[in-house]
Chains A and B, each alone.
Chain A
Amino acid sequence: MNNTLKFRVNGDDVEVAVPPMARLLDVLRETLGLTGTKEGCGEGECGACSVLVDGVLVNSCLVPVAQVQGGEVLTIEGVALHGAGAGAGAAATPPALHPIQSAFLQCGGAQCGICTPGMVMATVAFLQDSQKGTVTEESIREALSGNLCRCTGYVKIVDAVLAASQGAKP
């Protein structure tokens, strides 16, 4: 029942032979080995599996992989690659953190870390669509309202997104 599907993940072309209704989440984690995207509930409530498909934030646990055929997927593993200071191409050292990731690190926005990749992806989606200077605490809370965190109480995450929004636009 496998289909051959082609799409792009973090800028690379991929071709996978998987059942068309396999969850994008499972294809990323198991077929492609990109385990940075997490599963927290499997029903689109927690946002731990958030990725961008064609620039739009989605819950990858609710997306049948056939629906990304020909599309462009961005996962947490691709965020640093697209950040400031990326592109040096030195394979030995990982690319510098994306400004959003740096802001989370500095502001204490990551605790246990299991919601963190999803939070970062939701932030990437939010800030790419936001005009600089228009970001407010309320708009951040709304943008992240589909990403549950049980550790932080959200304060330091909001701080991180605010800080990132004030930095250079990615």
Chain B
Amino acid sequence: MRGHTAELEFLSPTTLDDALEHFARGAACSKPARAFAGGTDLMVQLGARPVDVSQGPFVNLSCLAELKTIDVREDAVVLGALTTYAQACAHPVVAAEFPALCLAARATGAPAIQNRGTFAGNIANSSPAADSPPVLMALDASYELTSARGRRFVHADAFHLGYKKTELAPDELLTRIFIPRRNSLETEWRMGYRKVGTRRAQAISKVAFAGALRTRGGMIIDVRLCYASIAPVPLRVRAVENFLRGKPTSASGTGATETDAQAAVALLRSLLCPIDDVRSTADYRKEIACRLLADFLLSESEERSPT
């Protein structure tokens, strides 16, 4: 039973202010407008069932030049909401400084999807299986939410509130993504990323992991551990992070000791309760999530490739 998107209202404002006006108006009459970027998620959702024409209009963002830029600042790289996966991967600074983000981008769909799909759309659509949120959370990114009322910033890990529920108010638009650059004091950050999908391309994750670990003077001083597809939201496991912070590093200095890694995994195991669905089983997800953590904590290499 398919949906016919042609029946839906589609507004194409040419300035951000006009777009925000649409969102404000929609929110006011409780028929919220919905943002439309690359369409790679929305068109699939809308095509799966007869469409609901009583809902608010879609606001096409593709004419908003101000959302198409990638700004490299001293302290951060700022991705405009319309940055596609392909554009990010092709950007020399993004590719050099955030290889894990590029791995996640290249693991999303296939080239035609990467040419259209945007990070902002992937985030705002808020699928628990989305590929980019865990990496952005591990990178300590923040999102700029803009409305006619003004703008505010939300940390990536605070954005997802529940299954398909986010911080975005009905009149707000996710306009930019700020990814902090590692400054000279933070060279000890190590990133890891791995997606375990249903196949090597055109895959939705069964479980995906993004980790960031910072060591100094033989001690783990900071760590961020994030997952997709094991909870109703993209998940950051703070309890495990808290356990690891302050622990000594392994002899190689790149990760945790065997004992601490095992304890971290045991803690993670006690926290996770993933589900069975058509893509995988709860048991498998839990086990693999634990193994990906152990692998990351005990790894002596840099970024891991997705498969």
A residues contacting B by CB (< 8 A) are 1, 18-23, 26, 42-45, 47, 50, 56-59, 61-64, 66-67, 69, 122, 125-126, 142-143, 145-148
B residues contacting A by CB (< 8 A) are 2, 5-10, 12, 36, 38-40, 43-44, 47-48, 58, 60, 62, 86, 109-113, 115-116, 200-202
| B residues near A63, Cβ cutoff 8 Å | 39, 43, 116
B62–A47 touching, CB < 8 Å:
no
CB within 8 A of A26: which of B6, B62, B86?
Answer: B6
| A residues near B9, Cβ cutoff 8 Å | 1, 21
Give the number of residue pairs across the A-B interface with Cβ within 8 Å.
Answer: 96
B44–A62 touching, CB < 8 Å:
yes
Extra pairs beyond A1-B7, A44-B112 (20, CB < 8 Å): A19-B6, A19-B7, A19-B10, A20-B10, A43-B48, A44-B43, A47-B112, A58-B115, A62-B39, A62-B43, A62-B116, A122-B111, A125-B111, A142-B111, A142-B201, A145-B200, A146-B111, A146-B112, A146-B113, A148-B202
A59–B112 touching, CB < 8 Å:
yes
A23–B6 touching, CB < 8 Å:
yes
A58–B6 touching, CB < 8 Å:
no
| B residues near A23, Cβ cutoff 8 Å | 5-6, 43
CB nearest neighbor in B for A22: B6
B201–A146 touching, CB < 8 Å:
yes
Residue of A50, A58, A143 with most partner-chain B CB within 10 A = A58
CB nearest neighbor in B for A118: B112
A93 to chain B, nearest CB (A): 32
A143–B111 touching, CB < 8 Å:
yes
CB nearest neighbor in A for B39: A62
CB nearest neighbor in B for A46: B202
